[in-house]
Amino acid sequence: MSLIKSISGIRGTIGGTVNDNLTPVDAVKFAASYGSWLIKRNNNSKNLTVVVGRDARISGKMVSSLVANTLVGMGISVIDLGLSTTPTVEVAVPLEKANGGIILTASHNPKQWNALKLLNEKGEFLNAADGAEILNIADSDGYTFAEVDDLGTYTKLSGYMDKHIDEVLKLDFVDVDAIKKAKFKVVVDAVNSTGGIVIPNLLERLGVECVKLYCEPNGQFPHNPEPLPAHLVDISELVVKENADLGIVVDPDVDRLALICEDGSMFGEEYTLVACADYVLGLAKGNTVSNLSSSRALRDVTEKHGGTYKASAVGEVNVVELMKDTNAIIGGEGNGGIIYPASHYGRDSLVGVALFLSHLAKSKMSCKALRESYPSYFMSKNKIQLTPQLDVDAILAQMADKYKDEDVNTIDGVKVDFANEWVHLRKSNTEPIIRIYTESGSQANADQLAKRIMDEIAEIAGI
């Protein structure tokens, strides 16, 4: 089965059979469930609008047509942005005074995948309760379609990525003049999706020379689209060959940002947020938030500036909720996701690029030197395959008890903070797996801690 239903939406592989893959029937069913939830949320209003946008996946146009026309069939009007990004749709929902939004993207998944990501009227991802309600509607086929005189309208609206750029350039801490004076040269790898349109356009507005790599939005991903070091060999080599100041990498829906130093080395996805937070906190006092699986470096930088750092459960909606609770001025996830409330509560690579280039320009440091100015931590990411018969919750409870004398957090699995390193254990929602993330002062120590914890779990589980 390749159809995954969760509170954050539905994703799956194109083709195959209904309920096993993301078929046209499944796309219609889930769009109708979202539409039904939206109508109920708005007291059965007949005057609702939803913004729809898609990344450049081969299946995007087909899935978008199904989703848009399903909403129209429910009496909901649709504003179709066409090729877009996740943060662009998030920005468009409140600007267009819409009641919700749907982004058609499977983020960093390969080209055979697609998904429906669902937004509320603020342009933010739905919370757990709302997501669960939509799943219940889908399970019960609990939706009603509009009669012919009550059908919604369909409007195409082009140019929203440029409007998104306008909004980014208006931000107080984006120093356009400093960036222009720095005369940066940047290589961009947008994995042949919509980042290939919007990131070069943003850089042009910032006076940055842009060398394009995989920027044709045709959905033919030239490498695994998750921006991990093993997938970024081509851009690393091109940055050095072009004598560029840095490389910029985004995933297909442009909500994750990875950076390459001028020598072709990885700046590190975890450090995208660290650098942007360092810049923002240097201009305004405040707090930060990331999730439990993100680097301790953000805490260190936050405390250096006199702020308070908090960690949320994994998941963007959880990060956003804690950011609101703590009045955080910047936050995000260690996968290169920057959430900057002065813009909007969603991961946004455009915001990340603009803040990072402002920081780099004003620091007058090279990308490599800036990276080396931060505390150096190393992560190890592993998983243990478990048999379905094993009680994963019980195993995690035993691990929490084993380390009860340490600093233990159990809001999302078990995280144990030691003096100089940490381990985070989480169970997968879709398969019998325990994920083991560790971080320490060296790669060897991170790997060693991971092995020790994995051996302990294996002993408890009897595997």
Active site residues: 107
Between CA 41 and CA 43 the distance in angstroms is: 6
Q: How far is CA 44 from the centre of its chain?
A: 32
Eight-state DSSP code of residue 266: B
Cβ distance 291 to 314 under 8 Å? yes
Long-range Cβ contact pairs of 315-322 (< 8 A, separation 24 or more) = 315/8, 315/291, 316/125, 316/346, 316/347, 317/8, 317/124, 317/125, 317/126, 317/127, 317/128, 318/291, 318/412, 319/289, 319/290, 319/291, 320/124, 320/125, 320/345, 320/346, 321/127, 322/289
Between CA 407 and CA 417 the distance in angstroms is: 5
Eight-state DSSP code of residue 413: S
* Phi, psi angle pair for 99, to nearest 5°: -95, -10
Q: Which of 89, 144, 73, 145 is nearest to 121 (CA)?
A: 89
Q: How far is CA 218 from the centre of its chain?
A: 21
Q: Each residue of 218-231: b (16+ CB within 10 Å) or e?
A: ebebebebbbbeeb
Between CA 324 and CA 186 the distance in angstroms is: 34
Eight-state DSSP code of residue 141: T
Cβ distance 344 to 302 under 8 Å? no
